[in-house]
Amino acid sequence: MINVLFAARSDCWDTYEAPLLNALKAAGIKAHLAQDIPPAEVDYIVYAPNSDLQDFTPYTRAKAVLNLWAGVEKITGNETLRIPLARMVDPGLTKGMVEWVTGHVLRYHLGMDAHIVNPSHEWSTKAPPLAQEREVVIFGLGALGTACANALLSLGFRVAGWSRSPKSVEGVTCLNGDDGFAEALGRAEIAVTLLPDTPATTDIFNAETLALMPRGAFIINPGRGPLIDDDALIAALDSGQIAHATLDVFRIEPLPQEHPFWAHPGVTVTPHIAAETRASTASGEIVENIRRGEAGEPNLNLVDRALGY
């Protein structure tokens, strides 16, 4: 019998208990799944970084921590974690992100706002460019960024991507490092930001870097709130350097009512809905990692904790 500790808040347990039990049964894995198991008896930890468990030292038998979140930045620095950590790459979450990003890219590319909100009833016959005439840059070429890049490629967009370390994605102009970042900014008629929240990425989109983008560029941020300097973005919007921004993530959530983003005509606020982990699909990923662990195979989506992503 394998002991699987579910270390997350009670509302999460209510959501995941049945799907995880069903996935374990379907995989033929005999397991005891519970929220309270003596640490020395735990084989796997299904984990949410906002849970009460922060000291992994007592879990001497555990083989892996299986993160419930796509983001791992809140756990990678935990010095007590000395066993493999697997990030969540949920097919449902990925599909949701791809659909959300594609929708907002097309909104900007086609200039939909001018027709949706047209109080003066202007009859403008100017057609939008074709996708092949527009370059979209994905900042962050992890699993989500790569999936979004492939979807945009399938629609005919010219797609570039930037990551801190070198990556290779077929059909995508892949850039990396500081020089690559400057080039990526210069290409970004539409920028999609899917970088992790690390000290190196905090305010990475600031007054200096926003100025390197093509004038009238668009920004779509479903990644992390601290990637963008709020004041610098508002200034860039006011000057026309940035035409519009769709923001799904923020430093403080829910976004405070008094925050200027709510009232700014150049900002669309969405309430952190770009992507959500679905228990029905995520449970299968978690159980597959348990199966791999028991078979002596490497876990899916192992995290390099030195990089944090």
Q: Which residues are catalytic?
A: 224, 272
CA-angle at 285, arms to 284 and 287, nearest 5°: 65
Half-sphere exposure of 130 (CA within 13 A, CB side): 3
- Rounded Cα distance, 215 and 189, in Å: 8
Burial of 214 (0-12, 13-18, 19+ CB in 10 A): middle
Q: How many helices (H) and strands (E) does the chain have?
A: 8, 12
- Rounded Cα distance, 301 and 309, in Å: 10
- Rounded Cα distance, 203 and 209, in Å: 10
- Rounded Cα distance, 208 and 211, in Å: 5
Burial of 112 (0-12, 13-18, 19+ CB in 10 A): middle
